[in-house]
Amino acid sequence: MTLKEKLRKKFTNYSIESPVVAAFLGDSVTHGCFEVLVKPTGSLECVYDQEAVYSNLFRKKFNAAFPGCPLGVINAGISGGSAAEGLARTDRDVIRFSPDLAVVCFGLNDVLRCSVENYVESLTGIFRKLKENDILPVFMTPNMFCTTPRATPVKELYGTSEECAEVQNSGKFDAFLKCAVEEALREDVTVCDCYSDWKTIAEHGTDVTYLLSNFINHPTRQMHDLFASRLFDTIVLGR
């Protein structure tokens, strides 16, 4: 059953049809991680904001359009997660809840840790598991990394900042995500290409480093709305 069919049935008979539920499987951005702070002990701590995370913003947009059919949201994002780790926990964190659709967003950690072949293979495994369980998969491409290294005020993250900027500026991340999008399309999976939106913004002259709350890889609260808006256009409006 498509999302459109589910909505129509729900509006026809509220008491019989189950709630519409969307799961979000991803890494720290999906988890709702924003700034990174240094604690007095010297250890690093992430700031989480579930009100500002894109899944919640998408929920609000959905509910504004369909006030009689509130959306249930499962946030299955885990900071530091990769597609391979997402595949390993798809049953536990997504499938057992039987959502209607699942938005899958990985890539930020994968491009730093693994081969493109491993990344694409893991994504394909997630997509197929979801489809086998009648869950609509949506592949959402992530945001860009920083383009200016060492912009972060956290000196302990200078090395990470430099690595991310190199991956972004060299074109490696572009090629990585191009392969993932092509595989998603081969698997007949809906693609929500937010990365292309970030690239367009950068091409207009904005240094995207300053659209990242930690100046490395976590979008600002305002930029989470880009994800939510693009998801709404892709999933609900079919654009």
Q: 152-182 pLDDT, tens per residue?
A: 999 999 999 999 999 999 999 999 999 999 9
Helices first, then strands: H and E counts in the chain: 11, 7
Instruction: Write down the pTM of the prediction.
Output: 0.94
User: Residue 35 in contact with residue 212, Cβ under 8 Å?
Assistant: no
Instruction: Note the pLDDT of residue 90.
Output: 98
Helices (H), the chain: 3-12, 28-31, 54-65, 83-88, 90-93, 110-113, 116-132, 158-169, 172-186, 194-203, 221-231
What domains can you pick out in the chain, each with its CATH number?
A: 3-236 (3.40.50.1110)
Whether pLDDT at 3 is above 90: no
At 66, give phi and psi (nearest 5°). Answer: -130, 70
Q: What is the pLDDT of residues 8-51, one digit of tens each?
A: 777 777 666 778 899 999 999 999 999 998 888 878 899 999 99
CA angle 114, 145, 151 (to 5 degrees): 125
φ/ψ (deg, to 5) at 72: -90, 140
